[in-house]
Chain A
Amino acid sequence: MESSLVLRVVAKLLIPFILLFALYVQFHGDFGPGGGFQAGTIFAAGIVFYALVFGLDNARRIVPDRLVEAMLALGVLIYAGVGVAGLLLGGNYLDYFVLAADPVHGQHRGIFWVEAGVAVTVSGVMLKIFYMFAGRGRHDGDAA
């Protein structure tokens, strides 16, 4: 896939900031607009931008299908793991107060990990959908 010089230069300039902005939205979600869903989508958008400019095969080399599929499950595992950790520490499922000695601190810690799980799963799902649509009709048989 031949792409123009202008697009490649601007993509190289912008993609790091897109990924950084995703992290900002993720970790600033406690204090302002943002959170796991938005951060995951922005992160996936950075990778999609890369794929649009440099080609789908290069993007698949950087973020391989296996990693994307692992991210799908890993995020849900983190989310559920926070709940199970609450159970093991003597609270209810997804009870954040028991995660630290100080209940407020525990709440903070719990929401941090839940949001991390959401971000991982959302960016994985977005990338998986994009890969499946973009790779449609290109490889026969190994689409799944």
Chain B
Amino acid sequence: MSMIAGFLGGACLLAGAIFSLIGAWGLLRMPDFYTRVHAASVLETLGAGFILLGLMLQAGFTLVAAKLLMIGLLIFFASPTASHALARAAMLRGVKPLLVKAGEASSKP
């Protein structure tokens, strides 16, 4: 039982690492502010979420798992709010999203 939880935890940690990599890559590669915020929020929710879930599975049913759950709740509430505040502030200050012009391909190959 604990071995299965350990393997699942390891898989979750790996998934979290992959999502973090994807988020970081998106943050570097995306063309404008809003898409970058989108990439960073993937990093915060899925990346951090999977890493915390993996650590919780590896910790088992202990006080450490309860603390990790609280950190997870904090991130669950705080990071989407932070992304929202960022995007809203940019919108109010007049940052225009990068839109496709008519007739062009919707994304680069």
Residues of A within 8 A of B (CB): 4, 6-7, 10, 13-14, 17
A14 contacts B78, C-beta separation under 8 Å: yes
Besides A7-B85, A14-B78, 14 other CB < 8 A contacts?
Answer: A4-B84, A4-B85, A4-B88, A6-B81, A6-B84, A7-B81, A7-B84, A10-B77, A10-B78, A10-B81, A13-B77, A14-B74, A14-B77, A17-B74
Chain B residue nearest in CB terms to A6: B84
In the complex, chain A residues whose CB is within 8 Å of the CB of B78: 10, 14
Q: How far is the CB of B45 from chain A (nearest CB, A)?
A: 15
Complex Cα spacing A10 to B74, Å: 10
Complex Cα spacing A22 to B48, Å: 23
Chain B residue nearest in CB terms to A11: B81
In the complex, chain A residues whose CB is within 8 Å of the CB of B77: 10, 13-14
In the complex, chain B residues whose CB is within 8 Å of the CB of A4: 84-85, 88
Rank and list the top 3 A-B pairs by shortest CB-CB distance, nearest first.
A10-B81, A6-B84, A4-B88
